[in-house]
Amino acid sequence: MRDKTYTPKPGQVQHQWFVVDATDKTLGRLASRIAQILRGKHKPIYSPHADVGDHVIVINAEKVRVTGRKSEQKVYHRHTGYPGGLITTRYSQVLAEHPERIIQRAVRGMLPHNTLGRHLFRKLRVYAGSAHAHAAQKPVALEI
| Local confidence pLDDT in tens for the 144 residues of the chain | 678 888 898 889 999 999 999 999 999 999 999 999 999 999 999 999 999 999 999 999 999 999 999 999 999 999 999 999 999 999 999 999 999 999 999 999 999 999 999 999 999 999 999 999 999 999 999 998
Cβ burial, residue 43 (10 Å; 0-12/13-18/19+): middle
**Entry pTM:** 0.94
In a domain, 1, yes or no: no
In a domain, 71, yes or no: no
Whole-angstrom CA distances from 120 to 23, 83, 94, 132 are 24, 32, 23, 19
In a domain, 103, yes or no: yes
Total number of domains in the chain: 1
In a domain, 119, yes or no: yes
In a domain, 24, yes or no: yes
The parent domain of residue 27 ranges over: 17-66+98-141
In a domain, 83, yes or no: no
Judging by DSSP bridges, how do beta strands 55-59 and 17-21 pair with one another? Answer: parallel
In a domain, 3, yes or no: no
Give me the CATH number covering residue 102: 3.90.1180.10
Bridge partners of residue 76, in order along the sequence? 89
In a domain, 118, yes or no: yes
